[in-house]
Amino acid sequence: MERDHMKDLRRYLALKYIQYLVLSSSNAVSTLLGLLGSAYTMVLLQSAKVSSKSTAVLISSLAQADILVFLSLVSDAVSGSFGVSPAASALPRILLTANAHLSCVLLSCVAFEAYLITFLPLESRSLRTVRNARLISRAIWTLVAAECALFLVDDHLRASSSPGLLFQLSSVAAALLRSLSYILGILLRIINVYIYYKIFFSMSPRSRLKSK
């Protein structure tokens, strides 16, 4: 009997929702499971049995985001083995932050698409394209990369102990960005809960009708 690949993808999404939108912080077990799930998902999405749709593009980008976790672990191991600058030692933390932000936003995009498929399937068909999904994924990666660059510059200027206008600007910008990211993270959690609440209770009556 053939394996249900869509069921595997749903399980992967459930794992990621628990890891990034339910748990307050990652731990060794969830990180390891996330890495293994992402590796399996990237292989699975290369299969011809999985149709190339906008949801698959978003899930692929979500799985690729875990490459940052792997790079963080490698960077952390290198930092522990060799003497590195304080700014370089902050790289593992920044990579993990980038992974968390990418994952939260991409998971929210998947949830929003599920909302459109459930409630506006015909009206949203022109929006739910592979091209748009790729553009959205690239835009998210670009914004998060810019965020990481700002955090790296801020850490470098703090480590160099050279106060000046650039230091003050980067410090204020980094602080504002961290506050914005925190607020956005809370909003995304609320929005995701609302979306799946709506989807669940809209599907429940249909399930009950089918069972009669």
> Would you state the pLDDT for residue 208?
43
pLDDT tens by residue, 88-127 = 678 889 999 999 999 999 999 999 999 999 999 999 999 9
75-79, 105-109, 111-115, 183-187: range with lowest mean pLDDT: 75-79
- Provide mean pLDDT across the span 158-186: 86
**Helices (H) then strands (E): counts for the chain:** 8, 0
> Would you state the pLDDT for residue 91?
87
> Would you state the pLDDT for residue 201?
85
> Would you state the pLDDT for residue 161?
67
- Asked if residue 211 has pLDDT above 60, the reply is no
> Would you state the pLDDT for residue 179?
95
Q: Distance (Å, rounded) from C-alpha 86 to C-alpha 105?
A: 29
- Please answer whether residues 173 and 101 qualify as being in contact, where contact means their C-beta atoms are separated by less than 8 angstroms: no
Higher pLDDT, 138 or 203: 138
Helix ranges (DSSP H) in 45-162 = 54-64, 67-81, 86-89, 91-119, 130-160
pLDDT tens by residue, 8-57 = 999 999 999 999 988 867 778 889 999 999 999 999 998 766 778 899 99
Name the DSSP letter for residue 187. Answer: H
> Would you state the pLDDT for residue 82?
63
- Asked if residue 65 has pLDDT above 80, the reply is yes
Q: Distance (Å, rounded) from C-alpha 16 to C-alpha 18?
A: 5
Q: Distance (Å, rounded) from C-alpha 159 to C-alpha 77?
A: 21
The pLDDT-based confidence of 83 (bands split at 50, 70, 90) is low
Q: Distance (Å, rounded) from C-alpha 95 to C-alpha 72?
A: 6
**Which CATH architecture describes the domain 5-206?**
Up-down Bundle (1.20)
Q: Distance (Å, rounded) from C-alpha 184 to C-alpha 210?
A: 39
- What pTM, to 2 d.p., does this model score? 0.89
Q: What is the 3-state secondary structure (H, E, C) of 128-162?
A: CCHHHHHHHHHHHHHHHHHHHHHHHHHHHHHHHCC
The pLDDT-based confidence of 162 (bands split at 50, 70, 90) is low
The structural domains of the chain, with segments of one domain joined by +, span 5-206
> Would you state the pLDDT for residue 61?
96
Phi, psi of 173 (to 5 degrees): -65, -40
> Would you state the pLDDT for residue 209?
43
